[in-house]
Amino acid sequence: MILDERSYSIHPAHVRDYLDTYVREGMALQVQHLGRLLGWFTTDTGTVNEVVHMWLYDDLADRERRRSALEADPLWWAFRAKTSPYVQSMRSRLLRPTGFSPLR
């Protein structure tokens, strides 16, 4: 199992716009293609104006197959065109659970 953690720094004052657009147009697409959503978060301390979401995959091949399907969907590209102006930067990390992790 691997966990894909993605964080986006959003322009100040546009976090709500980004999240509202995501709920209306992006979430169903991601869940359809990516499957196992672990959670969506906003930050309260540290780096503010940031959203973080996490997805679980069986392995790297599962992630690659699912991400490729999402990237091939024209509705996903339409969503990204609407939300790209809100995004300042993006970071993605792939995490593997330890042998004693509850997510294992």
Query: Domains, the chain, ranges and CATH?
Result: 2-94 (3.30.70.100)
Judged on CB neighbours under 10 Å (0-12, 13-18, 19+), 29 is: middle
| pLDDT of res. 82 | 96
| pLDDT of res. 47 | 85
| pLDDT of res. 30 | 97
| pLDDT of res. 24 | 96
User: What's the angle, vertex CA 74, arms to CA 71 and CA 75, rounded to 5?
Assistant: 100
| pLDDT of res. 103 | 82
| pLDDT of res. 77 | 97
Q: List per-residue pLDDT tens for the chain, 104 residues long.
A: 999 999 999 998 999 999 999 999 999 999 999 989 999 999 989 888 999 999 999 999 999 999 999 999 999 999 999 999 999 999 999 999 999 999 87
| pLDDT of res. 58 | 96
Q: Output the pTM of the full model.
A: 0.89
